Amino acid sequence: MRDPTRGLKLPAVLLSVAVVVCACAPAREAPVGASASRERWFGDTSPPAGNVFSFNLGAEPETYDPSLAAGQPDGRVARLLFEGLTREDPQTLEPLPGQAYRWDTSPDGRTYVFHLRPGIRWSDGRPVTASDFRWTWLRVLRPETASRYAGFLFQVVNAETFNNGTLRDENQVGLEAPDDSTFVVRLTSPVPYFLYLTQFYTCLPVPRWVVEKHGNRWTLPAHIVGNGAFTLDYWRQNNRFEFVKNPRYWDASSVRLDRIVAYSIDDLNTSFNLYKAGVVDWCPSGYFPSQFIPYVRPYADYRHGDYQAVYFYSICVTKPPLDNVMVRRALKCSVDRDAIANDLLKGSRRPWGNFAPSGYPGYDNPPGIVFDPVKARGYLAKAGYPGGKGFPKITILINTSEDHRRIAEAIQAMWKRELGIPVEIENQEWGSYLQSTTALKYDVARRSWIGDYLDPNTFLACYLSGDGNNRTGWSDPRYDAMIRAAAREMDPARRFETLRKAEMLLLDEGPVIPIYHYSTNELVKPYVRGIYQTPLDIHPLTRVWIDRDWQRRAASVAARQSKVAAPVEIR
């Protein structure tokens, strides 16, 4: 599809303005029986003309090649175009049968046998086979591919050595395709969250023949072939993606949208305006300014829930005085999380004293760090700086952002007040900030971490010695041993207990000061069905639909609730 708007002529503008005026006029009138909806919903509530769903993708994806994708927008596009062995339940994110219709697990939990659905096809008509999955996963692991998420598959036998180039023979990697419909995965240890990984975008299959023919450019709309519920119809960088329903998708009958339009709008105010005007039907979490949350809270569009992400300060432990565990404890205990979350951020976030977020099924967080200035001063005295005397100046590093600065100023004031230590704030733009934290050239830095799968391991494994995401220089053999033991443990209860102990150690001695628990804050139009609030902010969009009758439905629900047989206006 070409951009139909090239070569604008003035009469065309006037005409279209007139058309827009006419089109808007009737929509402004609230239908009978729904007069209350005028205040209940934010902005325009007229459904789109066809079965078309529009949303803001946020930043332009760097790539939507699933094997290389790294960001959230990248993943959202990849998940529309491709489907993995399993797919997420839209509400719970539990794995549902996807391209595999069933799977078996060996008793030791180390071997998974996936049985592919008969008759599944790529969008070009070729059958989807087990060797497509094997080739894709090997592609993710191949060092030449340089996949950022290759580590996701390191639990597969020999995957890590294959990825770092020491093992050359791909047949020794624990991936087999004995026939077209059977895919066997052998793991080094029983990974309890392995099925969650099979729906993650890194594990989505890619068409070998297209990738080999077009190289880096295989994802362009002219070349791309997928096995998902939608195909890519149009793409313009920094503008929009348009997806159309894939008739070859195995479950096409449950796909009710004809088209999905995903705009790449990176300005948060603009994103908010477009939602209000009804140009986008869904404004995902994080895509409108957080200062607006108190303003939109009364509207029914606003959805709010826990998000598996934590905002924290990390401490670089390589030089004095921060190498001293007593100093770290003092810093941790003198941060008043409640004041930050409730006063500074107006309750839009939840104060959080743990490193792993809440809500992992089966995991019980240990007691978190609490604000206790008396204890904090005691720790500081034990470290040899009573009342902060002789404590060298430390610097809080933030990346440039108004919110980060406000929080840093609050913490600076808390440390000065409770501990009497001199604190400075330094802000750097994103690239420099990443370089500084990676090179351990900082004292205390703002950081945040987002879970990839529903298990605390996605957080706790970051602080293994030398892990690339550790970035503090902290290393403790006891901690490493616990995380590794948990990975080998078959019994879920014992495994979580080990992880819990590891988190306790991390909170007590480690280099992190948790501050708040992220939450999702999104806006959804009343006529959009099938988008649910989920803890990972992953939203399977393939089964979303547009409810043209939402007002009638809302009115009848209201009527039922008030138990009055009110006449219902039917359009």
Partner 1 sequence: MSLAGFILRRVLIIVPTLWVIATLTFFLIRAAPGGPFQAERDIPAAAKEQLLHKYGLDQPLHRQYVHFLVNAARLDFGPSYKYPQRQVREIILEALPVSAELGGWALLLAILVGVPIGVIAAVRHNSTVDYASMGIALAGVSIPNFVLGPVLVLGLALGIYLLPPALWHGPESRVLPVLTLSTAYVAYVARLARGGMLEVLHQDYIRTARAKGLAEPVVVMKHAFRLGILPVVSYIGPAAARILMGSIVVESIFSVPGLGRYLVNAAFNRDYTLVLGEVLFYAGFLMVLNLAIDIAYTRLDPRVELA
**CB-nearer residue toward partner 1: 329 or 447:** 447
User: Considering the rule CB under 8 A, would residue 436 count as an interface residue with partner 1?
Assistant: yes
Q: Which of 91, 238, 254, 318 binds partner 1 (CB under 8 A)?
A: 238
User: Considering the rule CB under 8 A, would residue 266 count as an interface residue with partner 1?
Assistant: yes
Token pair in block for residue 196: 């969650």
Give the up-direction half-sphere exposure of residue 523: CA atoms within 13 A in the CB hemisphere: 35
Chain-centroid distance of CA 233 in Å reads 25
Q: Which of 58, 151, 174, 366 binds partner 1 (CB under 8 A)?
A: 151
Return phi, psi of residue 426, to 5°. Answer: -125, 130
3 state SS of 362: coil
Give every CB contact of residue 111 below 8 A, 6+ residues apart in sequence: 105, 184, 185, 186, 187
Stretch that binds partner 1, among 231-239, 380-388, 418-426, 529-537 (CB under 8 A): 231-239
Stretch that binds partner 1, among 12-20, 196-204, 298-306, 474-482 (CB under 8 A): 12-20
Q: Which of 143, 298, 320, 362 binds partner 1 (CB under 8 A)?
A: 143
Stretch that binds partner 1, among 263-271, 343-351, 356-364, 453-461 (CB under 8 A): 263-271
User: Considering the rule CB under 8 A, would residue 431 count as an interface residue with partner 1?
Assistant: yes
d(CA 497, CA 486): 9
User: Considering the rule CB under 8 A, would residue 146 count as an interface residue with partner 1?
Assistant: yes
Q: Which of 2, 22, 28, 393 binds partner 1 (CB under 8 A)?
A: 28
User: Considering the rule CB under 8 A, would residue 430 count as an interface residue with partner 1?
Assistant: yes
Q: Which of 35, 269, 318, 465 binds partner 1 (CB under 8 A)?
A: 269
Stretch that binds partner 1, among 235-243, 320-328, 531-539, 546-554 (CB under 8 A): 235-243
Stretch that binds partner 1, among 190-198, 214-222, 346-354, 502-510 (CB under 8 A): 214-222
User: Considering the rule CB under 8 A, would residue 291 count as an interface residue with partner 1?
Assistant: no
User: Considering the rule CB under 8 A, would residue 273 count as an interface residue with partner 1?
Assistant: yes
Contact criterion met (CB below 8 Å) for 130 and 136: no
**CB-nearer residue toward partner 1: 67 or 334:** 67
Token pair in block for residue 58: 């946020």
User: Considering the rule CB under 8 A, would residue 8 count as an interface residue with partner 1?
Assistant: yes
As a residue count, the chain comes to 571
Q: Which of 96, 113, 279, 370 binds partner 1 (CB under 8 A)?
A: 279
The DSSP code sequence of 202-227 is: GGS---HHHHHHHGGGGGSTTT----
Q: How far is the CB of 445 from partner 1 (least distance, A)?
A: 12
350 forms beta bridges with: 517
Q: How far is the CB of 214 from partner 1 (least distance, A)?
A: 9
Contact criterion met (CB below 8 Å) for 44 and 523: no
DSSP category for residue 367: P
Give every CB contact of residue 389 below 8 A, 6+ residues apart in sequence: 420
Q: How far is the CB of 234 from partner 1 (least distance, A)?
A: 11
User: Considering the rule CB under 8 A, would residue 109 count as an interface residue with partner 1?
Assistant: no
d(CA 555, CA 355): 44
- Side chain identity, residue 446: R
Query: Residue holding tokens 């002219």?
Result: 222
d(CA 161, CA 164): 5
Over the range 218-235, which residues count as b (16 or more CB within 10 Å of their CB) and which as e?
A: bbeeeebbbbbbbbbebb
Q: Which of 45, 99, 123, 147 binds partner 1 (CB under 8 A)?
A: 147
User: Considering the rule CB under 8 A, would residue 295 count as an interface residue with partner 1?
Assistant: no
3 state SS of 188: coil
Q: Which of 2, 5, 125, 168 binds partner 1 (CB under 8 A)?
A: 5
Q: How far is the CB of 509 from partner 1 (least distance, A)?
A: 23
d(CA 218, CA 209): 10
**CB-nearer residue toward partner 1: 96 or 167:** 167
230 forms beta bridges with: 245
Residue ranges with strand state E in 375-511? 394-399, 423-428, 444-450
Which residues form the interface with partner 1 (CB under 8 A)? 4-6, 8, 12-13, 16-17, 20-21, 24, 27-28, 43-44, 60, 62-63, 65, 68, 70, 143-148, 150-151, 163-165, 216-220, 236-240, 263-267, 269-270, 273-274, 276-279, 428-432, 434-436, 438, 467-469, 471
